[in-house]
Chain A
C-alpha cells in the first residue's frame, strides 16, 4: 500500500479535482483506493457514481458526570488542561467541545464519577466507482476537532483486508493539525498550487511542513498560464520537482463545477494527469 497525499496550503487550488481524476484514471490499470480525508468538507464523492455504501459511525469518548458518586473534590478540573471540566459549588460542568478525550479526568477521579461515554463524531463510508475503491471520512457538523476522526481513518485504511496498491488521499487545506495528521502517514505528498502570490505564499508554508515531516514531495501547478516562474523558480531553488503544469482553462472549471470527471472531457487536462500518473508509477519502481 503506497499512500499518496494530495495537499496544499491554500484552499481551492485543485486538490479534489486532481485526487479524483488521478485516482479514477489510475484505476484503469492499477488497484487504487481514493480516500477523502478532508473531513470538514469532503467533496470527492460528488464526482463519482458510487454504489452501495458501507458505513461505520465513528465515536469519540467524553466524560459524563455521575452525580451520585461525585464528592465535588475538584480533582477533575485540576487534571483537565483544556478547561473542559469545571467544578461549580454544587455540580461538575462538562464542555464536550473542549474535550480532547485524554481520559485524565475520568481515570484519575478517586470516585469513578466521570465515566467516558461514546458519542458520534463522524462517519467513514466505503464504496466503489467502477474499478476505483473509495473511502470517505465525514465529520459531523458541530464537532470541532477533525484530528481524532483523521487518526481513526488512517487506522481504518490500515486494517482493511483488501489493500489497494495505491491509496490517494484528498487532504484538508492549510498547514495545521488536520493537514499534518492526514499527510504524516503518507509515502509521498503532492502539493497543488497556483501561479499567484497567494499560491506561492501558502506553498512555501506547505513545503516547510512536509519537510519537517521528512516525506518526499512533488508540486503540481494548477491554472498555469504563460508565466509560471513565480512557482517554478521557488521549486528550482528548493530542489522540488514540478511534476506537471495543468493549464488554466475555463472548460476545466466548468466540468468540475458540473461534477464531471474532467479528464474524460478535456484533453490537455487528461495529458497533465497522465504525466502525474506516470510519475507516480515510477516512484514504485
Chain B
C-alpha cells in the first residue's frame, strides 16, 4: 500500500487543490482521505456520495454527580487544567478545560465523578467519480482529540483500499506541525509538501521539513504561486537541495485555482496547460518513488 500525504505547514498554500488534482490523475486507482478534520474541504471538490456514516468516540470528560458530591474540593486540588469550578457550594466540570485525564475521579472519596465517553466527530465514507472512494470526517464543535480522529480516517481509508483492491491512498493533511499533522504522517510512504514563495511560506516549510526529518520520511515539494516572488522561489529550491527534499514542480499564481474551487472541480478539469503539465510531472515523479 502506498500512502501519499500532502501537507504544507502554512495554511492556504494549496494542499486541497493539489490533493484533488492528484486524485483526478490517479483516478480509480486511489482512495482519498481528508485528514484536515478541523476544516475539511476536499469533499467540496470530490462530491462523494455518502455510503456510511459513523460516530467516533475518543477520550472522556469528567462529570460530577451533585447528589453524591460532598464538596470536599479534592477534585479541584488535583486538577492541573483548571477544569473544576466552584460556586454556590457546588463543584462542576468546565468541559472546555477538561482533558479527560480522570485524576479527579480517582481521588474523589465519594465516587461522585464518572468519566463519560466523548463524541469527537463523525466519519463519512463515500463513492466518488474522481477517485475510487473517499473517507473524511467532521470534528464536533469544541471537541478535542483531532489526532485520534485523523488516525481513524486513515485507518478507514486503508480498509476501504484493501476491500476494493486499491493500493494508493492520497491523504490531504492539516496545516501546522502538531498532533493532527503528526497523526497524518504516521505510516506515510511519501510526503508531498505544498509551499508558496512568501516569507511565511518559507519559514513554515523549514519547520515542516524538520518534522519530516524527525520521522525519516522521504518527501517532495511543490512551489505553488512560484511567480509571486521569484527570489524566494529560488531560495526555496536551494534550500530543498540542501535538505535532500525532491523539488517536484512549480505551479503559477493563477486564478484558475480559485475558479476551480468556486466551481467545485479539480483544477485539472479546467485544462490550463502549464498547470496540468506540472501536475502530471508531479504524479509521475511520485509514482517513480
**Interface of A with B (CB < 8 Å)?**
9-13, 16, 40-41, 43, 46-47, 79, 81-82, 100-104, 107-108, 139, 141-146, 172-180, 184, 196-198, 201-202, 205, 208-209, 212-213, 223, 250, 253-254, 256-259
Contacts and interface: CB of A to CB of B under 8 A. Distances in A.
B200 A43 contact: yes
B41 A79 contact: no
B16 A198 contact: yes
B198 A100 contact: no
Given A46-B199, A144-B182, 8 more contacts: A40-B177, A81-B100, A81-B102, A102-B99, A173-B11, A177-B144, A201-B39, A208-B141
Contact of B141 (A43, A79, A108, A175): A175
A284 to B, nearest CB: 26
Given A11-B175, A40-B176, A81 B39 contact: no
B39 A175 contact: yes
Contacts of B141: 175, 205, 208-209, 212
B139 A176 contact: yes
Contact of A139 (B143, B178, B228): B178
B68 interface: no
Given A102-B101, A212-B141, A258-B229, A141 B11 contact: no
A38 to B, nearest CB: 8
Interface in B187-211: 196-201, 203-204, 207, 210-211
Interface in B1-60: 8-13, 16, 37-39, 41, 44, 59-60
A197 B262 contact: yes
Contacts of B177: 40-41, 139, 141
A62 B48 CA distance: 43
B174 interface: yes
Nearest to A9: B39
B261 interface: yes
- The 6 residue pairs across chains A and B that have the minimum distance between CB atoms: A12-B12, A11-B11, A174-B38, A102-B101, A40-B176, A257-B198
Contacts of B147: 144
B214 interface: yes
Contacts of A103: 78, 80, 103
B233 to A, nearest CB: 10
**In which size bucket is the chain B interface?**
35 or more
Contacts of A101: 80
Interface in B212-271: 214, 225, 228-229, 232, 253, 258, 261-262, 264
Contacts of B16: 198
Nearest to A39: B178
B100 A174 contact: no
B159 interface: no
13 contacts: A10-B39, A40-B175, A41-B204, A43-B10, A102-B81, A103-B80, A104-B106, A198-B44, A198-B261, A201-B44, A205-B38, A205-B39, A208-B141
Nearest to B264: A197
Nearest to B14: A12
Contact of A102 (B9, B80, B179): B80
B38 A12 contact: no
Contacts of B225: 253, 257
Interface centre among A176, A212, A223 (most CB of B within 10 A): A176
A196 B256 CA distance: 13
B96 interface: yes
B180 interface: yes
A97 to B, nearest CB: 8
A210 to B, nearest CB: 10
Contacts of A82: 101
B106 A79 contact: yes
A41 B228 contact: no
Given A12-B12, A173-B11, A173-B176, A100 B211 contact: no
Interface string B105-136: 01100000001000000000000000000000
B80 to A, nearest CB: 6
A129 to B, nearest CB: 15
Given A12-B13, A142-B211, A180 B96 contact: yes
A143 B179 CA distance: 8
A197 B203 contact: no
Nearest to A248: B258
A10 B99 CA distance: 25
B96 A184 contact: yes
B262 A196 contact: yes
Nearest to A253: B228
A40 B175 CA distance: 9
B10 A41 contact: yes
B261 A13 contact: no
Given A11-B10, A11-B11, A141-B214, A196 B261 contact: yes
B41 A201 contact: yes
B38 A173 contact: yes
A38 B287 CA distance: 35
A114 B41 CA distance: 44
Contact of B178 (A40, A47, A209, A254): A40
